[in-house]
Structure 1
Amino acid sequence: MQSDSPSTNEAPAKGGTDHPAHEDGRWGQLFSGRNGIYSAALAGGVVLHACNMYVATTVMPSVVADIGGLDFYAWATTLFVVTSILAATLTAKLLKALGPRGAYCVSLLIFAAGTIVASLANDMAVMLLGRSIQGFGGGFLYALAYAVTRLVFPPALWARAVGLIGAMFGIATLIGPAIGGIFAEFGDWRAAFWSLLPVIAIFAVIAFISLPRTSPGKEERAPIAYAQILLLTAAVLIVSAGSLSPVLLWNLAGLGAAVVLIALIVVIERSGGARLLPRGSFSRGAPLGLVYLMIALLMTGVQPEIFVPYLVQTLHGQSPLWAGYLAALVAVGWSTASLLSPRFRGRGGDRLLIIGPPILLAGLVLLAIVMPVPGGGAWQWLAPICLGLILVGFGIGLTWPGLVTMVYRHAPVDEQDLASGGMTTVQLFAAALGAALAGMIANVAGVADPGGVAGASKAAFWIFALFALAPLASIVLARPLLRLAGARS
């Protein structure tokens, strides 16, 4: 069933205004007729991207046990997200050039190539190369889900569609850790990557036969912000490189350099020309800047999850399979809250932005208390760990649909694709920076030296305690954002 245009849902979004219809959509509308086909295609790409994340997270302890590279443990995530950022910055260009159908197929091809390279890795360098290529394809898939949502669905269904995208991470939690954990249990982590290839082929077929060939936003300019992309990538890599050293001075030097590079990005963005983010993103009188900042803070706050499989295996005696499922509880909380969030949309619904960050904060504080204590698998320690992980995901999931629809509503009319791609860029940049910071904190705390239970325990406390500062900052920003967004609606 092919279509060359998004039919009746094709009305371009109008930035800078509030759409009352946002709160009128129903789940049945999202899954009926052509909307149902679009939903399956977009959700499928996100499932594949998220499933790969949990497969890789689950098998990484087995990978480093086989080919070495514990010092580069966090880099497997960092480089994946760095290349995802590069893809997100190019999404508007790819969508304009190839349309939704072609963009999805190319993204899936890149993703498949990276999967093959990762499965053949015989040392950490090749693994990191494969993860980088996977990240490039996955970044396109994830950014396209948000960008195409605006193109193929009417505004009334945006919050529901965004909730569906978030819920796909919950589906991935049932599949990814199982795939990674089962193969890790049998000592064949490579097969965990190979098993994704048939799924990639299936989703490529679904995307080709269902998505529109052309984009209604082809008139939108999509110049590539080369300077900002280079600086953004350099900032993440510098922090990541500094995180490898157990010397605090080098860690701080990397952070300082990254701050300087981010400041340069802001200067370039304000000077005009090609941009990563739409107009108004750095204006004190526009809500977009605060929305993007909230996205960055909340995404940073969930990044300690990359160390959860290692910590629960080392400190709490869990197998690779169960460690993967424990780490996936963050996504379970996110997915559950994403599905519930649209029910509270409507008058005052955006106040979920005030409720979500304290829940995320509570989860991190709980984990900082219970995760460092070696429990040997005892449920009196595992139960609060599970609760903390669910709270972390629930806190961000509750706010996510509201933040995404705020971007849609307040972005300029002629920069909607840029706004969608910019949202994913900010999200992934925060994830990459957060992963690098988590690796830095873990290395300084002694996860590799002295290592073992003592190093893991110390690292667990400092990772969760310091990352609690991110949702704390977002609590401060939530009310000013609501006032500003209300004044502009």
Structure 2
Amino acid sequence: MPYSLFKQRIIVTGLILGLLLASIEQTVVTTAMPTIVKELGGLSVYSWVFSIYMLTSTASMPLYGKLADVYGRKTMYIIGMLLFLAGSVLCGLSTGMTGLIVSRGIQGIGAGALMPIAFTIMADLFPPEQRGKFMGSFSAVFTLASLLGPTVGGILVQYTHWSSVFYLNLPIGIPALLLIAFSLKERTGSEQRHVDWFGAITFTSAIVAVLLALVLGGEPHAGAAGSGWLSAPVIGLLSAGVLLLCLFLWMETKVKEPLIPLALFRHRLIASSSITGFLISAAMFGAIAYIPLYVQGVIGVSPSAAGYTLTPLMLASAITSTLCGRLMSKLSYRSILIPSFLLMAAGFCLLSRMTIETTMTQIVITLILTGLGMGAVFPVLGTAAQSAVEWNMRGVATSMSQFCRSIGGTIGVSVLGALLAARTASGLLQGGRSIPADQVQQYANPQLLLDAGARAALPQPILESLQLVFSDALQAVFAAGAVCVVLALAASLWMGNHRLVQPSSDKKSA
């Protein structure tokens, strides 16, 4: 249904608030977690506060996409927002880590709806020639949230109770919910449609099993005998995940209306944007996450300064994510992605050559270069996936695009984290250059470099050796990230000369 300019602005405001909510949540909680653990205890399950959120949000994305196509974007968006806000309240009321982890799981189930359906509503709301501009604006919101999150979280924890980081979601989420509820009017297709619930259960179970295996395999104890990647639980979960996924793929060829129509991936844009999104997310979330670790552990900056290391990257990303909206109406997707990936590849190559002599100025310049390449990537990939399908498949296409990125980031963090641990252990076993063989185990924990007191107590030759070992290991991580970027560049070439066009059914009323 057509909207007035005023009504469009109200809906966009609601969507932006929802995106801000979903984007800022993780960074705010990360800042607050040391204080939460101090009060609630449960350090041994610290990582599960983040892992459970990732598991539930990622696994629920494809289901929300299908349900949005069947029952309407508005209905599913409101359900997702209500679950997210309910989970936020329960997190704030938690009196133990078990309750907090369960509440974060509920939060994640709701979060799985917020981004994919927001982008789908945006695609319904605006014609193709305007979508690029708004995709870029939404990406800028994500960047802004990434910058504000640590600061907001730090202020709330310092001056209020830790529960306020969860209650903060209410004054943002409730207005977003009301704006969408009262402004968005839509009607679904008149034909009767069905949801493949058995396929949904099978697919969700498969994804949860695989993600759970990745989380368990990448935990710090991974080097111990009988644990980590070769442990029975991890191998069992991976095997179960693969079997369930094979069963799901077989069932999708038999049902009348599959949860994920496999024919979608016969379309060049859908297939190439999904593969590209997976690879670039693995590079970004898997390698860039270690930059603050590098500047704190190798170069030796303070923890507070390390927390703001990524600011140049995010600001540069915001610039190109805003500009790419205008470019999409004039250039093909591939024409925008190729220079973007070349800039990112150059940035990652420079990161892989950092040493203990690298200055913060050099790192800032490298991050700006990487960010300028990064900013246009996700808006282009999201727009490409949406423009490739008709209105009644847009929810599935958008959610699958988000899902591939989420899976890519999860696998990237796990695999590159394992690479970091392996390279660090290998460097230490070789004696760490100046570390006596009988003292290797004593200094085997890189955490020594991140603790100011422990770092100051280290003998200078030992400190330099640990810095070199840690630096060499992180160089391998950034080099692996560069390989992922190059592979993403190759995948993007498959897009051909497709550009932003209007499918015939785009004129259908939303």
TM-score normalised over the length of structure 2 = 0.76
Note the aligned Cα RMSD (angstroms). 3.7
C-alpha spacing 1:195/1:410, structure 2 compared with 1 (3 Å): closer
Q: Can you list the C-alpha shifts for 1:103-149, whole angstroms capped at 9, x where unaligned? A: 33322222223323444556654444343322222221111112212
Aligned equivalents of 2:375, 2:351: Cα separation in 1: 18
User: Would the aligned equivalents of 1:111 and 1:136 in 2 still touch at CA under 8 Å?
Assistant: yes
Counterpart residue number, 1:247: 223
User: Would the aligned equivalents of 2:347 and 2:370 in 1 still touch at CA under 8 Å?
Assistant: yes
Deviates more, 1:334-343 or 1:178-187: 178-187
The correspondence of residues 356-395 of structure 1 with structure 2, limited to 5 A, is 356-370=340-354, 373=356, 381-395=359-373
Aligned equivalents of 1:195, 1:431: Cα separation in 2: 26
Q: Can you list the C-alpha shifts for 1:338-373, whole angstroms capped at 9, x where unaligned? A: 111122224543211212222222333333343x73
Aligned equivalents of 1:41, 1:436: Cα separation in 2: 34
Residue 268 of structure 2 aligns to a residue whose secondary structure is coil
| Offset, 1:164 | 1.9
Give the partner amino acid of 1:269.
Answer: L
| Offset, 1:404 | 1.8
| Offset, 1:430 | 1.8
Aligned equivalents of 1:440, 1:278: Cα separation in 2: 34
Counterpart residue number, 1:472: 486
C-alpha spacing 1:469/1:134, structure 2 compared with 1 (3 Å): farther
Counterpart residue number, 1:19: none
Aligned equivalents of 1:309, 1:193: Cα separation in 2: 25
C-alpha spacing 1:209/1:312, structure 2 compared with 1 (3 Å): farther
| Offset, 1:466 | 2.4
C-alpha spacing 1:33/1:195, structure 2 compared with 1 (3 Å): closer
Q: 2:249 aligns with which of 246, 262, 269?
A: 269
Larger radius of gyration: 2
Aligned equivalents of 2:374, 2:137: Cα separation in 1: 15
Counterpart residue number, 2:211: 236
The correspondence of residues 400-439 of structure 1 with structure 2, limited to 5 A, is 400-411=378-389, 414-439=392-417
Q: Can you list the C-alpha shifts for 1:64-121, whole angstroms capped at 9, x where unaligned? A: 6666677766554443222112231221354357644443332222222332344455
| Offset, 1:47 | 0.8
Q: 2:316 aligns with which of 333, 345, 353?
A: 333
Residue 365 of structure 1 aligns to a residue whose secondary structure is helix
| Offset, 1:412 | 5.3
Aligned equivalents of 2:258, 2:481: Cα separation in 1: 29
Residue 131 of structure 1 aligns to a residue whose secondary structure is helix
Give the partner amino acid of 1:343.
Answer: R
Q: Can you list the C-alpha shifts for 1:11-45, whole angstroms capped at 9, x where unaligned? A: xxxxxxxxxxxxxxxxxxxxx43222221111111
User: Would the aligned equivalents of 2:18 and 2:172 in 1 still touch at CA under 8 Å?
Assistant: no
TM-score normalised over the length of structure 1 = 0.78
Counterpart residue number, 2:61: 88
Counterpart residue number, 1:7: 2
Aligned equivalents of 2:367, 2:104: Cα separation in 1: 25
Give the partner amino acid of 2:387.
Answer: R
| Offset, 1:238 | 0.8
The correspondence of residues 271-286 of structure 1 with structure 2, limited to 5 A, is 271-272=252-253, 273=255, 275-283=258-266, 286=268
Counterpart residue number, 2:83: 110
Which ranges of structure 2 fall in alignment gaps of 5 or more residues? 426-442, 450-465, 504-510
Aligned equivalents of 1:368, 1:318: Cα separation in 2: 19
Confirm or deny that 1:295 pairs with 2:277: yes
User: Would the aligned equivalents of 1:178 and 1:321 in 2 still touch at CA under 8 Å?
Assistant: no
Counterpart residue number, 1:398: 376
Counterpart residue number, 2:135: 162
User: Would the aligned equivalents of 1:303 and 1:434 in 2 still touch at CA under 8 Å?
Assistant: yes
User: Would the aligned equivalents of 1:291 and 1:403 in 2 still touch at CA under 8 Å?
Assistant: yes
C-alpha spacing 1:106/1:176, structure 2 compared with 1 (3 Å): same
| Offset, 1:482 | 2.0
Q: Can you list the C-alpha shifts for 1:430-471, whole angstroms capped at 9, x where unaligned? A: 222223334434554469935221486566434333233211
User: Would the aligned equivalents of 1:361 and 1:471 in 2 still touch at CA under 8 Å?
Assistant: yes
| Offset, 1:61 | 5.2
Q: 1:141 aligns with which of 99, 102, 114?
A: 114
User: Would the aligned equivalents of 2:73 and 2:120 in 1 still touch at CA under 8 Å?
Assistant: no
User: Would the aligned equivalents of 1:184 and 1:320 in 2 still touch at CA under 8 Å?
Assistant: no
User: Would the aligned equivalents of 2:292 and 2:310 in 1 still touch at CA under 8 Å?
Assistant: yes
Deviates more, 1:237-246 or 1:247-256: 247-256
| Offset, 1:187 | 9.0
C-alpha spacing 1:402/1:81, structure 2 compared with 1 (3 Å): same
Give the partner amino acid of 1:168.
Answer: V
Residue 263 of structure 2 aligns to a residue whose secondary structure is coil
Aligned equivalents of 2:312, 2:230: Cα separation in 1: 32
| Offset, 1:162 | 1.5
Which ranges of structure 1 fall in alignment gaps of 5 or more residues? 1-5, 10-31
Give the partner amino acid of 2:351.
Answer: L
Residue 212 of structure 1 aligns to a residue whose secondary structure is coil
User: Would the aligned equivalents of 1:55 and 1:177 in 2 still touch at CA under 8 Å?
Assistant: yes
Confirm or deny that 1:35 pairs with 2:8: yes
Aligned equivalents of 1:316, 1:191: Cα separation in 2: 34
| Offset, 1:196 | 2.9
